[in-house]
Structure 1
Amino acid sequence: MTDWKNFFSGKAYRLIDHSDPLSLDNAMDSFAIDDAIALSVSKDKSAHTIRLWVHNKTIVLGISDARLPYIEEAVSSLQAQGYQTIVRNSGGLAVVLDKGVLNISLLLSGGNSLGIHQGYEVMVAFIQDLLADYTTEVKAFEVEGSYCPGDYDLSIDGKKFAGISQRRVRDGIAVQIYLSIEGDGQAHARLIRDFYQVGLRGEETKIKYPTVRPETMRSLSELVDKPITVELVKDRLTHMLDDLTVERVQAELSDEEVLEYQKRKKQMIERNKKALGDLA
């Protein structure tokens, strides 16, 4: 397994903390920012970066979700429950974000030499080390019955609490994970189960959508039976990195990154309008 420490050991790293849900308008900002920073890292204009982000009451859809036969009804149902909906620019299917879900982006250079599977393995090893004080039982494999299933689902005792996606921007890599830390993991799963039931109405489709079984999903605090919070995991992350690196740089976006972010955000807005129409 690729050692994540190779990217950070003995070096300065950049930390961007957007874990206040009010720090950004919506999740489109986060995906556009990650693209901008990944490009900056690929040009050696930024150190390897870790970005923390939280968005409350948000459903992030995959491109395939927008092709559901009854997508308008499905999205309207989510919005009626107070959830923002966006279509992301990376792979995967629908996931739930809220104030108890911490998203971590590893923004690294070396995409031309680091394979796709290796990119996922970097995040798996990073999370296993991050959570080592709480558990050593984090496994990576597809959890059938979970939402947004994939080979690198993270689970404990077969119950999924995290999922990973990945995006390449030139030589830059954005490996993103959602960690369901606090709250009711099964409630999140029921929300996505109902979304697909409304969006499909039992129709057969060329795209295979997951049959979500809520009992396959939990939050981390539920799985380890400890009151773990987003703040505790953030503190653990900074201590882990500070012990390994020579300097932590906390810098917001440069002028060049802001311009790239604005360009990427515009593209996401256009993509969402195309996918969701007036519901975007």
Structure 2
Amino acid sequence: MTDSLDFLTAGNEFLVYDKVPSIYTTHRYAPFALTDALIKEAGEKNQPILHFWTTEPYVILGMMDTKLPFLTEALESLSSFSYPYLVRNSGGLAVISDEGVLNFTLIFPEKDERLSINEGYDRMHQIIQKAFKDFPEQIDAYEIPDSYCPGDYDLSINGRKIAGIAQRRLNGGIAIMIYLSVNGDQKKRAEIIKTLYDHGLKGTETKWHFPTVKPEVMTTLEHALAHSFTVSDVKKRIKSLFLKASIELKEATFPPSVQSDYMEGLEKMTKRNKKMLPQLPLSAGG
């Protein structure tokens, strides 16, 4: 592997949204509203963007999870873990986000080039592979069926999942999003989602497929590579790839267009969650 990434052109500039003002971080729905605002910004300004974020402990549901036949009981079961929850504005299934999970989004304008779904996933896979090329372990991309939110581009080391990738398109831009379990208690994370499905299904068969979550098929980057990592360490590794490829990384500002689209996205997320989730105490926004 070389230090350059074949889809990056030397001399290009990426805006980096990393340390963002508290207005964009304090609300539970903030990362999702901001992501949509940044996809629109990338498309309108023809500007590629990197977005890094972490959260307090949350269960992030996919829209399919709202089809669980015993959804209220499933959500009530989360109270024993004291994890608030929300439903994101995209498909897929439930994942955990907390201080040991890095959420990282590559956002590309699609004015001149529309990426295929697989090419978008491949780009993220390449970045994560190359960020850790100094370790002998291979980071593979294939489905880990008994993980939570399984998909064709699950990232794994020695057969145990460390990350999942998703995509979202809006207004001339595409976001390739990854959650990467850097450190922390991955067994507990998986047990929380297993509990969600155990209570939400109660053995019932549905026309939707929900995974039989087995905590042993998932792990953290730290455990898989037998090396101590912080979320900041991983961000530095990812940024260094762009710099080595002669890509300028520019700390982003928040123009009125982003602010306006963010507020619109926040309102949409609020309406979505009120509509799709039973209004239990843990589902209140904020």
Structure 1 residues 133-142 or 166-175, which shifts more? 133-142
Quote how far apart the aligned CAs of 1:18 are.
Answer: 4.7
With over 3 angstroms needed to count, the CA separation of the structure-2 counterparts of 1:40 and 1:182, relative to structure 1, is same
Is the Cα contact below 8 Å between 2:137 and 2:225 reproduced in 1?
Answer: no
Is the Cα contact below 8 Å between 1:105 and 1:176 reproduced in 2?
Answer: yes
| Structure 1 residues 8-27: aligned runs within 5 Å | 9-18=10-19, 24-27=25-28
Q: Provide the residue aligned with 1:64 in structure 2.
A: 64
With over 3 angstroms needed to count, the CA separation of the structure-2 counterparts of 1:4 and 1:71, relative to structure 1, is farther
Give the residue type in structure 2 aligned to 1:130: A
Q: Provide the residue aligned with 2:93 in structure 1.
A: 93
Coordinate RMSD, CA, aligned = 2.1
Q: Provide the residue aligned with 1:268 in structure 2.
A: 269
Q: Secondary structure at the match of 1:277?
A: coil
Q: Secondary structure at the match of 1:6?
A: coil
Q: Secondary structure at the match of 2:18?
A: strand
Give the residue type in structure 2 aligned to 1:123: M
Find out whether 1:38 has 2:29 as its counterpart: no
Separation in structure 2 between the aligned mates of residue 214 and residue 19 of structure 1, nearest angstrom: 33
Separation in structure 2 between the aligned mates of residue 197 and residue 126 of structure 1, nearest angstrom: 35
Structure 1 residues 90-99 or 14-23, which shifts more? 14-23
Q: Provide the residue aligned with 1:215 in structure 2.
A: 216
Quote how far apart the aligned CAs of 1:67 are.
Answer: 1.3
Separation in structure 1 between the aligned mates of residue 95 and residue 148 of structure 2, nearest angstrom: 7
Q: Provide the residue aligned with 1:82 in structure 2.
A: 82
Give the residue type in structure 2 aligned to 1:58: Y
TM-score (norm 1): 0.92
Give the residue type in structure 1 aligned to 2:29: M
With over 3 angstroms needed to count, the CA separation of the structure-2 counterparts of 1:20 and 1:158, relative to structure 1, is farther
Q: Secondary structure at the match of 2:55?
A: coil
Quote how far apart the aligned CAs of 1:195 are.
Answer: 0.9
Separation in structure 2 between the aligned mates of residue 246 and residue 119 of structure 1, nearest angstrom: 19
Give the residue type in structure 2 aligned to 1:16: Y
With over 3 angstroms needed to count, the CA separation of the structure-2 counterparts of 1:182 and 1:19, relative to structure 1, is farther
Quote how far apart the aligned CAs of 1:248 are.
Answer: 2.0
Compare relative contact order (CA 8 Å, sep 6+) and give the higher one, 1 or 2.
2
Quote how far apart the aligned CAs of 1:187 are.
Answer: 1.8
Give the residue type in structure 1 aligned to 2:95: V
Separation in structure 2 between the aligned mates of residue 22 and residue 260 of structure 1, nearest angstrom: 13
Q: Provide the residue aligned with 2:160 in structure 1.
A: 159
Find out whether 1:193 has 2:197 as its counterpart: no
| Structure 1 residues 116-195: aligned runs within 5 Å | 116-195=117-196
Residue segments in structure 1 that go unaligned for 5+ positions in a row: none
With over 3 angstroms needed to count, the CA separation of the structure-2 counterparts of 1:61 and 1:35, relative to structure 1, is same
Quote how far apart the aligned CAs of 1:122 are.
Answer: 1.1
With over 3 angstroms needed to count, the CA separation of the structure-2 counterparts of 1:81 and 1:24, relative to structure 1, is same
Quote how far apart the aligned CAs of 1:268 are.
Answer: 0.9
Is the Cα contact below 8 Å between 1:12 and 1:245 reproduced in 2?
Answer: no
With over 3 angstroms needed to count, the CA separation of the structure-2 counterparts of 1:139 and 1:240, relative to structure 1, is same
Separation in structure 1 between the aligned mates of residue 58 and residue 21 of structure 2, nearest angstrom: 14
Is the Cα contact below 8 Å between 1:7 and 1:48 reproduced in 2?
Answer: no
Q: Provide the residue aligned with 1:204 in structure 2.
A: 205
Separation in structure 2 between the aligned mates of residue 158 and residue 26 of structure 1, nearest angstrom: 35
Give the residue type in structure 2 aligned to 1:158: G
Separation in structure 2 between the aligned mates of residue 128 and residue 23 of structure 1, nearest angstrom: 30
TM-score (norm 2): 0.90
Separation in structure 2 between the aligned mates of residue 240 and residue 214 of structure 1, nearest angstrom: 32
Aligned length: 277
Is the Cα contact below 8 Å between 1:50 and 1:106 reproduced in 2?
Answer: yes
Is the Cα contact below 8 Å between 1:4 and 1:123 reproduced in 2?
Answer: no
Q: Secondary structure at the match of 2:180?
A: strand
Residue segments in structure 2 that go unaligned for 5+ positions in a row: none
Is the Cα contact below 8 Å between 1:91 and 1:166 reproduced in 2?
Answer: no
Is the Cα contact below 8 Å between 2:77 and 2:195 reproduced in 1?
Answer: no
Q: Secondary structure at the match of 1:50?
A: strand
Separation in structure 2 between the aligned mates of residue 156 and residue 94 of structure 1, nearest angstrom: 21
Is the Cα contact below 8 Å between 1:21 and 1:99 reproduced in 2?
Answer: no
Is the Cα contact below 8 Å between 1:19 and 1:53 reproduced in 2?
Answer: no
Quote how far apart the aligned CAs of 1:212 are.
Answer: 0.5
